[in-house]
A and B are shown apart, each in its own frame.
Chain A
């Protein structure tokens, strides 16, 4: 029996096996997104993060366990994902995301799973230059946002220009169900993009505490 037969009706494996997806940031969102993409049989994954695994990551970052504490996240993630799916290629890049370092990323699609504005700006800049789609995803406390950004769409810069001083995970915390639900929506968008299907340009808003998912049209 074919390994991917249970997902063939939604997305044929032929659409995934030749594709390269970069997952930028291996935190709560990135761990789940990377795992789902690996299980789905995306041909090549590039994992990017500069951090080491800490005890405070374990409640939500599902690729790591206690034995990984102190290891680089990319190293631990590559080991886990290779055990999950040995038929795909997985690379880890232990680096800070900047406009310069993003030049090393050659992918069909980029998953933005970072936790700061500067890294997201670097991803937006890189994807605009290379004319590649990317999927923005962010989570905080019980909430999240997801949006597929298509080549030529100046969404990120126009939406977040001048934004600063907002809350982060240190100040407000993050629920494991929240960031993992965000990752599931992000991967769903990614699958459709990889399959060449139409993807909504709306910003998806999610709150797992209040059981709310809604879409906001987003071209200010």
Chain B
């Protein structure tokens, strides 16, 4: 799994740090990172295969081409097909 340790951002809004919160369901890991780009680019940075996951931003599933910003709350959901 990728290393999720990141430098905390220096950007602030009304005195609060702006960070993207990322939760990776498969490994049950949380991270706070600075990132701007698409969901696909985020997965690439985290070394996660985009064919095996869904991405939710602020409680809503999004496409891999949707753009993310630092203030987003991201969940990377594992896809599985067991019955």
Chain A residues with a Cβ under 8 A of chain B: 25, 27-30, 113-117, 120, 137-140, 143, 145, 159-160, 162-169, 172, 174, 179, 203, 205, 215-220
Contact = CB atoms under 8 A, between A and B. Distances in A.
Contacts of A172: 80, 82
B56 interface: yes
Given A162-B51, A216-B59, A217-B59, A168 B80 contact: yes
B82 A117 contact: no
B83 A220 contact: no
A51 B51 CA distance: 28
Given A216-B60, A220-B62, A140 B52 contact: no
B71 to A, nearest CB: 18
22 contacts: A28-B83, A114-B81, A116-B81, A116-B83, A120-B81, A137-B83, A138-B81, A138-B82, A143-B78, A159-B61, A160-B79, A162-B51, A163-B51, A166-B81, A168-B80, A172-B82, A205-B77, A216-B61, A216-B77, A217-B60, A219-B60, A220-B63
Contacts of B80: 138-140, 143, 145, 166-168, 172
What 10 A-B pairs have minimum CB-CB distances, sorted nearest first?
A: A115-B83, A140-B80, A217-B60, A140-B82, A169-B82, A166-B52, A27-B83, A218-B61, A166-B79, A220-B63
Contacts, number: 84
B43 interface: no
B24 interface: no
Interface residues of B, number: 21
A31 B29 CA distance: 33
Contact of B56 (A120, A166, A216): A216
Given A164-B51, A165-B51, A114 B83 contact: yes
B77 A165 contact: no
Nearest to B26: A167
Contacts of A162: 50-51
B83 A167 contact: no
Contacts of B54: 159
